[in-house]
Amino acid sequence: MANTKSAKKRARQVEDRTAINRARRTRIRTFLKKVETAIAGGDKKEASEALRAAQPEVMRGVTRGILKKNTAARKISRLSAKVKTL
């Protein structure tokens, strides 16, 4: 447990930051899940639109530090390959 005033403040800040990051991660996962659902449904138009909406969200996750750059690139690449094969 934090004892000093500054350590208590840092603990509060980490708590707030964790909540924000959790929300951002959840938002990214939701966008990716929409693409996966559209792919599973077999609707190429809907899947490509969902992918187009998901790409900026994933890259925003990179700039915010939620995802690593290569992880985001890999996810987008794999999803776009799946959409392409529809």
For the chain, what are the domain ranges? 5-85
Predicted TM-score (pTM) above 0.95 = no
Q: Read off the pLDDT of residues 22-39 as tens digits, 9 standing for 90 and up.
A: 999 999 999 999 999 999
Q: Read off the pLDDT of residues 47-84 as tens digits, 9 standing for 90 and up.
A: 999 999 999 999 999 999 999 999 999 999 999 999 99
Contacts of 84 (CB under 8 A, 6+ apart): none
d(CA 24, CA 8): 25
The two three-digit tokens of residue 11, written as one number: 């603990």
Phi-psi region of 32 (alpha: psi -120 to 50; beta: other; left: phi over 0): alpha
DSSP secondary structure string, 13-37?
HHHHHHHHHHHHHHHHHHHHHHHHH
pLDDT of the residue at 34: 97
Annotation: CATH topology of 5-85? Methane Monooxygenase Hydroxylase; Chain G, domain 1 (1.20.58)
